[in-house]
Amino acid sequence: MKRLLVGGLLTVMLVSCSNNTYGLDKEDVEASIAEEAVKQKVLEDGGYKESDIKITKICKVMDRSGEVELEDVYRVYWQTTDKKHSDKFILEKYQAEYGNNNYVDIENSCREW
């Protein structure tokens, strides 16, 4: 019985940690990305709402030279729930912005959201 309880507790802890990619607050990341995404003209014209935006993956990035890993800067990939539109933003301090050409993804750092 004790092993079952400990095993269950470990499972809950692992699931909780998996929702916290790179230590980021999931709700804050999703809100920032969705808020910026719906500003795109094609999404505005299509009547998309923030709830229609889903993050697909997140990657750590380096500066364009590929030499300096940046702390707390990520590339976030997203798509609409109907999968008709997708894009990516740079996320820095929970602020989504364009600027993808200034960064490169760090190899093997991308995680499914």
Residue 5 in domain: no
Identify the pLDDT of residue 12: 41
- Residues with pLDDT less than 70, the chain: 1-19
Residue 57 in domain: yes
Identify the pLDDT of residue 3: 54
Strand 95-97 relative to strand 86-92, pairing: antiparallel
What does the alpha-carbon distance between residue 67 and residue 58 come to, in Å, rounded to a whole number? 20
Domains identified in the chain, total number: 1
Residue 64 in domain: yes
Identify the pLDDT of residue 1: 52
Residue 81 in domain: yes
Residue 38 in domain: yes
Residue 99 structural domain: 24-112
pTM as predicted:
0.80
Identify the pLDDT of residue 107: 92
Q: Which residues are CB-neighbours of 112 under 8 A, at least 6 positions away? A: 56, 57
Identify the pLDDT of residue 9: 41
Identify the pLDDT of residue 76: 98
Identify the pLDDT of residue 26: 96
Identify the pLDDT of residue 111: 97
Identify the pLDDT of residue 19: 55
Residue 3 in domain: no
